[in-house]
Chain A
Amino acid sequence: MNPSVINESQQRDITVICVRTAIQLMQFSAESVLVESVTRRIGLALGAESVEVALTANGITITTLCGGRSDTTVRRNIDRGINMRTVTEVQRIMLDAEAGHLGIAEVSRRLDDIGSQRYNPWVVSIMIGLSCACFARLAKADLPACALTFVASFIAMTVRHQLAHLNFNPLVNFAIAAFVATSIAAQGLIHNLVEKPQVAMAASVLLLVPGFPLINSVSDMVKGYVNTGLARGMMAVLLCAASCGGILLAMTVWNAWGWIR
């Protein structure tokens, strides 16, 4: 579209689309450079002359420019976890808009249609149990220790799903899940069930390592978004520390200090 023919109400629609794009990507943990480039590209594709994006950890500010008029809007940003399906769908909408297949109304409708389906929580829990068992196996644990790890992390993941469903703060959630996982894995140490109980204890809490925020944090900072990078990195460290709190509590309750001493 020619920028000069975009009227004020169209410009407002473009601004809203841009900010909705940005907020969806930011809330579901896309890296900052991706948030900014997708938002800018969708705005330009719909006919804005320029789109300026300012990201902070808790809010997003967007200004679009059309024929000398500027339109600015701010949205509050809350962290809603990681959801790569949403990120992919937003990006595909942007690519279709860029190819000229979509107008303002269609883009807006397709942004509305993005669902929030997730994988079945039981399937996820079983796969996470298997994942942690594989981590134990990679650390040369015997098969009973792997089985113990599977049980511990499967139950911890189920607890994590339940607590997330009840809207608990992620930090509380991680601490409780770590307590549950360590408590179960510690039984191997107490009752001498397995050969390397320390490995089972360490592997069963690996489902709580915030790998995505850690990587995002460093890549944000490498690409110049120090502000969001620091916020994400600090959140990752806090999640690790909360998990450690849960582990320590479990070690104290069961008096099982095999890991650290």
Chain B
Amino acid sequence: MIDLLLHLIEDMLLAAVPAVGFALVFNVPREALKYCALGGALGHGLRWLLINHAHIRIEWATFIAATVVSMVGVYWARKLRAHPKVFTVAAMIPMIPGVYAFTALLALAEIERSGLSDPLLAKAIENGLRTLFIVAGLAVGLAMPGLLFYRRKPLV
């Protein structure tokens, strides 16, 4: 139990750093940076728990984590008088499937270089599809408050 908790805390701390780092690139206002860190830690930690201990597939785990962060984000956005996307997108960055995306494209390039083979084709398609599903999970998860509760009225 202690072991699980330590792992979870390590995962959350490691996810909070990229959330803030990319928030700086996106020029998120200073007062919203703490929400980026919290959202990043919450989202990635929750996804880690769902994948490793509830044995949910990564796409669905990402979707659930993004939904939870965006729900909390609506509450923070009211306090901040800013649209939730201002900080929730930065909080999603640790969950972006960057390695999958690059692996898919590199495998495509390798097919061109060394000829078509089943393992390479599988690598390209599997990684490409996983990228697509995870990004869709993130984006739809972030849109959930608008789709479920704020159908006709603005969030902020």
* A residues with CB within 8 A of B: 30-31, 33-34, 37, 41, 82-88, 91-92, 95, 118-119, 123-124, 127-128, 130-132, 134-135, 137-139, 202-203, 205-206, 209, 211-212, 214-219, 222-223, 240-241, 243-244, 247-248, 259-261
Contacts and interface: CB of A to CB of B under 8 A. Distances in A.
Contacts of A95: 81, 156
A118 B87 CA distance: 16
Contact of B102 (A118, A138, A243): A243
B39 to A, nearest CB: 13
Contact of A127 (B24, B32, B89): B24
Contacts of B86: 84, 87-88
B18 to A, nearest CB: 4
Nearest to A223: B143
Contacts, number: 146
B115 interface: no
Top 5 A-B residue pairs of the complex, sorted by shortest distance between their CB atoms: A218-B139, A131-B21, A131-B18, A209-B98, A127-B21
B11 to A, nearest CB: 7
B94 to A, nearest CB: 8
Contacts of B28: 84-85
B29 A84 contact: yes
B35 to A, nearest CB: 12
A134 B102 contact: no
Interface residues of B, number: 50
A223 B143 CA distance: 9
Interface of B: 11, 14-15, 17-18, 20-29, 32, 80-83, 85-87, 89-90, 92-94, 96, 98-99, 101-103, 105-107, 109-110, 135-136, 138-140, 142-143, 146-147, 154, 156
Give the most central of A30, A34, A41, A241: most B CB within 10 Å. Answer: A34
Contacts of B24: 119, 123-124, 127-128
A120 to B, nearest CB: 9
Given A83-B26, A92-B82, A219-B140, 16 more contacts: A84-B32, A91-B81, A127-B17, A128-B22, A128-B25, A131-B20, A135-B98, A139-B99, A211-B92, A211-B96, A212-B26, A214-B96, A214-B139, A215-B142, A218-B140, A222-B140
Contacts of A135: 18, 94, 98
B17 A134 contact: yes
A127 B82 CA distance: 24
Given A87-B83, A202-B99, A212-B89, A219 B142 contact: yes
B27 A84 contact: yes
Contacts of A139: 99
Given A31-B85, A88-B32, A83 B27 contact: yes
B21 A248 contact: no
Contacts of A130: 17, 21
Nearest to B13: A134
A134 B105 contact: no
Nearest to B88: A215
Given A84-B27, A92-B81, A215-B89, A206 B154 contact: no
Contact of B82 (A41, A88, A240, A260): A88
Contacts of B140: 218-219, 222
Contacts of A123: 24
A32 to B, nearest CB: 11
29 contacts: A30-B83, A34-B83, A82-B26, A82-B27, A84-B23, A84-B26, A84-B27, A85-B28, A88-B86, A91-B83, A91-B156, A118-B27, A137-B14, A205-B102, A206-B98, A211-B89, A214-B139, A216-B89, A217-B139, A218-B138, A218-B140, A219-B139, A219-B143, A222-B143, A222-B147, A244-B102, A244-B105, A247-B102, A248-B106
